[in-house]
Structure 1
């Protein structure tokens, strides 16, 4: 896991399932190693928003591609889904295409659960549910007749009859100290996002991840350090800036993102933000070397799996320009 990997974020909130399939084929063609899709029931915006089912989409995407590793960034295996259903779904995917999948998990957002009447508990309970679900998923992949009595989930002699031929990596998305330590202790990878300032990575992410790895008695190379890098690269500087507009919701406060459960309200709040504030979360540039240098900074911080999220509507243009101009510079410097 020590070598650098470059991934593509398939923006489920922005494109139709069919468009995303074409884009993941292109991502593989131009040289990306992985592609990740988020699993939302509701998108960040009502107008122009999309929310395909990630599990269904992964099954189609793997048949359309041949080498690219596919995963969720992220799926919540605790509220809309019973963990056993996720264990079964990924086991099925892994049976047919071993070595092609990563299960990326997180504690979730109200936006996804509220619409179907699923209670959305406070952070500590969501985190406890996540830990329990990961334990159950792994046990179901390994053992037969699993009787599991947890605080939140239980199974009675459950068996996944078509198990994956090998372990499927589980990556945990963690933005705070506790989830990051947990990822270091038990997960195959940790997921975080870019654009939050050096202090955040140097004081929260890296030390807590290292502490978790040490507490788990693991080798640092056992944990893939994945970061979703928000990069609006375009040879036209004006376009690079304007492309960030669709993703204005990312610049809302964490409290707003956790508590707002309506795409229309999320859109209203996001549209009130000035473009300068929206763009702050992104590397915005029309200069390839400048972009590569800004990305290299995350490599210097210790991240090993860079997943690039381009915000524009014309993703073919982003993939072509990024692969031609920026990716070779990154691979040369690796």
Structure 2
């Protein structure tokens, strides 16, 4: 099982130091979100990935996650091909449909999201393999390629991972993805959903080995006091409020209206109300927390459910504990996970 880290820092200098520690403690990869909400004080994803590529040598580098709405697929294909010259065979292009906070305020329409993502992935893949003798063509509803090709060919392989939850997105994952990268699952809902993906892959003539099952999970490697537990539980409940399919798979969420993340997170009252309906027990089972042995046990449950790559999200760890948590993960938790 691979163990990776979702970078928490928000300045280039801090990100470089955080990534240095991730490499020092021999984690498998680092991930950074594509977050562009107004006044967020958050650096741009592709610039960050370039900095990380230049300042690391072994870690895999992934987007957690981007989409095909803010940047044309050609831009992403070109950017990742360029990055691959710096970090060959270390990149992972994590894609999703689009959550809203980085779109609505800029007039980017959040419609036909699954179709746009599927077409965007086909466009990116076509651009990467195109040549002057065999240029790329695509006649989609939203994207079009005519005698096209990436301005730069990738160096090595660039796998595409998809964050997916609902039936349409799960189908796209089974059809086109090299990896599945959801968050906020319980071990059981993860297992059930992965089995659906596996079944669909067979229908598309694909083998299970062609897809790496991943999971992003809230990480707090300490026995939380009441305040800390309330904080991470509240975060987990707000995550689950935007993922009704996970609630339904767990036997909950009967009153959830079935809205998706982009329809929820821009409406704070609605989001809070839906989060309050999420059972504490369900939210708790999605978090990796507790002492070292408890964290190992919780990660092991996901491993047993089929997860092969855990991405730990340290966003709720106190800043002064961040480096310590990283060291605990690298020196004490990861070796035991690998030994399971």
Please indicate, yes or no, whether the TM-score normalized by the shorter chain is above 0.5: yes
Q: Of residues 16, 25, 49 in structure 2, which corresponds to 1:21?
A: 16
- Quote the Cα distance in structure 2 between the aligned partners of 1:51 and 1:267: 26
- Quote the Cα distance in structure 2 between the aligned partners of 1:31 and 1:318: 14
Match of 1:214 in 2: 202
Match of 2:114 in 1: 127
Alignment CA distance shift 1:202-1:35 (3 Å): same
Q: Say which SS state the counterpart of residue 40 (structure 1) adopts.
A: coil
Shift of 1:99: 0.5
Match of 2:256 in 1: none
Match of 1:112 in 2: 102
The answer to whether the 8 Å contact 2:96/2:117 transfers is yes
Q: Is there any run of 5+ residues in structure 2 with no aligned partner, and where?
A: 244-258
Match of 2:32 in 1: 37
- Quote the Cα distance in structure 2 between the aligned partners of 1:212 and 1:236: 40
Shift of 1:27: 1.1
Shift of 1:103: 0.5
1:234 corresponds to 2:222: yes
Match of 1:163 in 2: 153
Shift of 1:126: 0.6
Please list, as runs of the form range in 1=range in 2, the aligned pairs for 1:234-313 lying within 5 A after superposition: 234=222, 237=225, 241=229, 244=232, 247=235, 249-250=238-239, 252-254=241-243, 255=259, 257-260=261-264, 262=266, 265=268, 269=272, 280=284, 282-283=286-287, 285-310=289-314, 311-313=316-318
Question: How many equivalent residue pairs?
Answer: 316
Shift of 1:229: 2.2
The answer to whether the 8 Å contact 2:242/2:265 transfers is no
TM-score calculated relative to the size of structure 1: 0.84
The answer to whether the 8 Å contact 1:91/1:162 transfers is yes
Alignment CA distance shift 1:102-1:108 (3 Å): same
1:176 corresponds to 2:166: yes
Q: Say which SS state the counterpart of residue 156 (structure 1) adopts.
A: strand
Match of 2:338 in 1: 331
- Quote the Cα distance in structure 2 between the aligned partners of 1:31 and 1:242: 31
* 1:162-205 Cα deviation digits (max 9, x unpaired): 2112331011111123322321222111111134462x2233x1
Q: Say which SS state the counterpart of residue 192 (structure 1) adopts.
A: coil
Match of 1:72 in 2: 63
Alignment CA distance shift 1:5-1:136 (3 Å): same
